[in-house]
Structure 1
Amino acid sequence: MFQVFTGSWALFVGMFMLMVGNGLQGTLLGLRGEAEGFSTLSLSIVMSAYFLGFLFSSRFTPELIRRVGHVRVFAALGSMVSAVLIAYPVLVDPWAWAVGRVIIGFCFCGVYITAESWLNDASSNENRGKSLSVYMIVQMAGIVFAQWIVSQGDVSGYILFIIPSIMVSLAFAPVLLSVKPMPAFETTKPMRLRDLVAASPLACLGMFMLGGVFSAQFGMSAVYGSRVGLTVGEISFFVSAIYVAALVLQYPIGWLSDRMDRRVLIVWVSLLGAAGSMIAFLVPGSFLLIVISGAIVGGTSNPLYALLIAYLNDYLEKEDMAAASGGLLFINGVGAILGPLTVGLMMDLIGNNGFWLFTGVLMAAVGAYGMYRSTQRSRDDVLEGDAVPYAPVSAASTPVAAEWAQEVYIDEEAAMEEETTPA
């Protein structure tokens, strides 16, 4: 894995700085909006707007790249990100922020697609899985480091808004100065939703629910922490715990995924996440329990995303896997747009603990539906030896990252077939 990093270190450093910038703006807007007296509904709209822009970009950025090239798209969208980040403290208005979040969601997704396509192109069949793992570690490390920066500054000032703008601008240098010219850019047309649901209703429902859980964590955690009286340092620690646990538990859950019935594992992981939400819901007011709940939900929901992709792939032919990833991303993106809006409504109706009730209900729904599906479809449908290997992938995936993960599945499945084929 170290060799993978050293081979593309400039690209990974650039992606780290991009993730710091994105991780900063998400938490920072929640805290600054609270300080400015924005309503819960206003903040939920602001947070949802990011995922709306992200979803649109996942559809339109590939066409932009085909028309003008990777370098121009990366530079143009990155410049817009820097400009919007600086504009936030100047235009302190929820509707202005919502527009900015749509733009920044669109741009960040486009920047990720461009950089990820370079990273994937720099990988070989032999190290593609390791490259994906390093990329996910870099993603999580950038978000966690961003939380530490937030804890060191004043959310009511300008400095914390300037820092992510600088980080995004600096990210251009290592990426643009180290990449080689890209080949023709192509993405696979997403599979029809009807075909996806027919292949695995559980994977589709799970992806929709996880979109809501992830966007609630990414967008509303800081708002929740501020509402229950946590300090900025405590909020940063709370948000960091979500992503650290997501990284730490990704690999043990992946190991189990390759050694047991995936549907059973989906049920247990989902119910564990629901139970984690209920800890802080039933015993409110304890910072330690809030952190534990956040770690459990983050540590189960993010690996569950990759687990559902692997589960769906068990029922697909290899040539259909890339197309399926695009459809799943769309389902996940719709859930992500609705997540902050629903959390904000629940926090207004039943209080701050509506945050935990929302994540708990969604995780429990995935587990309950998994149990129901076990009565409708036997896992014998997946013949022995047909289950694909698990590949780590973040819940913040773009179409390129998702197809990258699918290439890992296909490469590893082909390697397994070669090992089992008699000479």
Structure 2
Amino acid sequence: MRIFTAFRALYFATIALLTGSGLLSTYLGLRLAAEKVDGLWIGAMMAAYYAGLVLGGKIGHRLIARVGHIRAYGGCGGLVVAAVLGIGLTHWPEGWLVLRMLIGMGMMCQYMVIESWLNEQAEARQRGAVFAGYMVASYLGLVAGQLILVLHPGLGPDMPMMIALSFALSLIPVSITHKVHPAPMRPAPLEPRFFLKRVPQSLTTVLVSGLVIGSFYGLAPLYATDQGLSVEQIGVFMGVCIFAGLLVQWPLGWLSDRYDRAMLIRNAAILLLISALPLAILPSWPMEAMLPMGFVVCLVQFTLYPLAVAFSNDHVEGERRVSLTAMLLVTFGVGACIGPLVAGALMREFGPNMLYAFAAACACILILRVHPEKVSGLHRVDEAPVKHVPTPDSLASSPLSAALDPRVSNAAVAEQMKPTEAKAPMPEAEEESRPG
């Protein structure tokens, strides 16, 4: 409660920001479905958003360094509000793709500013609790966005105005803060070749998680519409499914700190396959059956990214964990761009149940690719297993979230806080190994 009080302004900004984001994702799916637009276009909308998030990770650093945190946050917030209102004023799906990408770019910059401020105000011993609070605020915002649909189920022009209102409210706490201006942080190097050699199974898990979760956020409203659910029922369905992601984080942390993480990832993939198959095989279900089955699927699928993050941290040294966080987020974003497009095409050709058939196929990839017995342990760090930390996995965070992660050493964070300058490339690993 003391931490919540200290950071309540930034948590409120996060809740408002994610309320708008969650409501916008579901609204676009329902709006396009009502206009009989096929699933490929709906998937493309979500892919454009995640592409914008990935691009915004690069652009945000430069913008913040040039104009400062508050101006960057306010400017990007204005861009997001204008783009949402533009969606409400036009009926041109091609233009919506551009606006959706701009929303993603603007929101990524806003995430970076919020996370910079949280890191600036959090003491080293508080970082884990502050990070968990940020994750809770993210999920609560996403759930709140779905509950708005329950209370106000219309898809008329007033809905984009409500979404824009949520985004506008997120500007207030940051714009009027009296806190010290955060120090600028330099972009973390990605080092893809190093991490592909060091943590291939973790990167595979993150990529698959992006495929599944990106498809869920983009296409689950279309799936629910094709099942005959009303707008209010779709809001309940989405809210229950997203709430499962929040609910599972703490029991998952208990398991992750006590059992082999590669084994947990493989078991989660098996459970995802088993739980998704009924929804994939039968073309229609009543609401009473969809809710518990959708809850169980999301309960499992939202464990993949946090497990992969913890698993990869077991095999990467502390000074490289800032770069690791950036690499994991980019990998997740790539998967989240591809997933909605593939699942949307499948749903157009074979029906709505292909959303869960796609999730089951992704689970099969993990079952085939993740093998605990192949983890050599050659690069396992001394403190492994590194403590599991609840992690938002809808890309509702930026590479700067590494600064809040207690698994990242203070020295690594201090290095990222230095002014941008030329930096020698990291040496590549010489060993050929098969660790996580």
What TM-score results when the alignment is normalised by the length of structure 1?
0.92
CA contact (8 A) 1:128 1:408 kept: no
For residues 27 and 282 of structure 1, what CA distance do their matches in structure 2 show?
A: 24
CA contact (8 A) 1:32 1:155 kept: no
- Residue equivalent to 2:432: none
What CA deviation, in whole Å up to 9, does each residue of 1:58-87 have, x standing for no partner?
121111111111011100010111111112
Deviation track 1:208-259 (CA, whole Å, cap 9, x = no partner) reads 1111111111111111111221111121111112211111111101111111
Matches of 1:57 and 1:37, distance apart in 2: 31
Q: Secondary structure, in 3 states, of the residue corresponding to 2:190?
A: coil
**Higher mean C-alpha deviation, range 220-229 or range 146-155:** 146-155
- The answer on 1:87 being equivalent to 2:76 is no
d(CA) in 1 for partners of 2:241 and 2:106?
24
Q: Which residue of 2 aligns with 1:377?
A: 375
1:177-232 Cα distance to aligned partner (Å, 9 max, x none): 22523233113423321111111111111111111111111111111111221111
Deviation at 1:310, TM superposition (A): 1.1
CA gap 1:50/1:246 in 2 versus in 1, 3 angstroms: same
**1:165 CA drift (Å):** 0.8
Partner residue, 2:428: none
Please state if 1:306 is matched with 2:306: yes
Q: Deviations over 1:16-60 (max 9, x none)?
A: 111111111110011111112212222222221111111100121
Question: Which runs of 5 or more residues in structure 1 are unaligned?
Answer: 412-423
Determine the structure 2 residue equivalent to 1:275: 274
Q: Which residue of 1 aligns with 2:415?
A: none
* 1:191 counterpart residue number: 190
| Structure 1: distance between partners of 2:234 and 2:167 | 23
Which residue is equivalent to 1:395? 393
Shift in Å at residue 409 of structure 1? 4.8
2:114 counterpart SS class:
helix
Whole-Å separation in 2 of the counterparts to 1:260 and 1:404? 26
Give 2:149's aligned residue: 150
Kept after mapping to 2: 8 A contact 1:245/1:298? yes
1:322 offset after TM fit, Å? 0.9
Q: Supply the AA of the counterpart residue of 1:263.
A: A
Residue of structure 1 in register with 2:355 after alignment? 355
Q: 2:340 and 2:320 mapped to 1: Cα distance?
A: 32
Instruction: Mark the CA change 1:351 to 1:135 in structure 2 (over 3 Å): closer, same or farther.
Output: same
**Which amino acid counterpart does residue 391 of structure 1 have in structure 2?**
V
Query: Distance between the aligned counterparts of 1:5 and 1:117, measured in 2?
Result: 17
Identical counterparts, % of pairs:
27
CA 1:410–1:392 in structure 2 vs 1: closer, same or farther (change >3 Å)? Answer: farther
What one-letter code is carried by the residue in structure 2 that aligns with 1:254? G
Conserved 8 A contact 1:118-1:179: no
Which residue of 2 is the match for residue 414 of structure 1? none
1:340 to 2:340 alignment: yes
- Match of residue 320 from structure 1: 320
Partner of 2:246: 247
How much does 1:106 deviate?
A: 0.8
- For structure 2, list consecutive stretches of 5 or more residues without a partner in the other structure: 411-436
Cα deviation, 1:320-371, whole Å, max 9, x if unaligned, reads 1111111111111111111110111111222111100111111232233113
Q: Distance in 1 between matches of 2:86 and 2:182?
A: 35
Query: Does 286-295 or 207-216 show the bigger shift?
Result: 286-295
CA deviations on 1:138-185 (whole Å, 9 max, x unpaired) are 111111111111122243311111111112112211222225232331
Conserved 8 A contact 1:246-1:298: yes
Deviates more, 1:400-409 or 1:192-201: 400-409
1:99 and 1:405 mapped to 2: Cα distance?
32
In 2, the alpha carbon distance for the partners of 1:179 and 1:300 equals: 41
For residue 76 of structure 2, what is the aligned residue in structure 1?
77
More deviation in 28-37 or 291-300? 291-300
Contact kept? 1:258, 1:389, Cα under 8 Å: yes
Q: Is the 8 A contact 2:117 2:182 kept in 1?
A: no
**Distance (whole Å) between structure 1 residues aligned to residue 399 and residue 373 of structure 2:** 35
Please name the residue that 2:368 is paired with. 368
Deviation at 1:131, TM superposition (A): 0.8
8 Å Cα contact 2:316-2:379 kept in structure 1: no
Q: How far, CA to CA, are the matches of 2:178 and 2:270 in structure 1?
A: 43
2:374 and 2:170 map into 1 onto residues whose CA distance is: 49
Per the alignment, residue 46 of structure 2 pairs with: 47
Q: Residues 165 and 69 of structure 1: is their aligned pair in 2 closer, same or farther, counting only changes over 3 Å?
A: same
**2:32 maps to which residue?**
33
Deviations 1:88-135 (A, max 9, x none): 121112111111101111111111111121112111111111111111
Which residue pairs with 1:215 in the alignment? Answer: 214
Q: Which position in structure 1 is the counterpart of 2:427?
A: none
User: 1:12–1:248: structure 2 CA closer, same or farther, 3 Å change rule?
Assistant: same
| SS of aligned partner of 1:126 | helix
Query: Do the aligned partners of 2:61 and 2:185 also contact (CA within 8 Å) in 1?
Result: yes
Residue aligning to 1:122? 121
Partner SS state of residue 109, structure 1: helix
Higher share of residues assigned helix: 1
Counterpart AA for 2:103: I
Q: Is the 8 A contact 2:81 2:164 kept in 1?
A: yes
Tell me, yes or no, if structure 1 residue 134 matches structure 2 residue 133. Answer: yes
Give me the whole-angstrom Cα distance separating, in 2, the residues matched to 1:385 and 1:87. Answer: 50
**CA, structure 1 residues 274+70, in 2 after alignment: closer, same or farther (shift >3 Å)?**
same
Question: Does structure 2 conserve the Cα–Cα contact (< 8 Å) formed by 1:322 and 1:406?
Answer: no
8 A contact 1:314–1:382 mirrored in 2 = yes
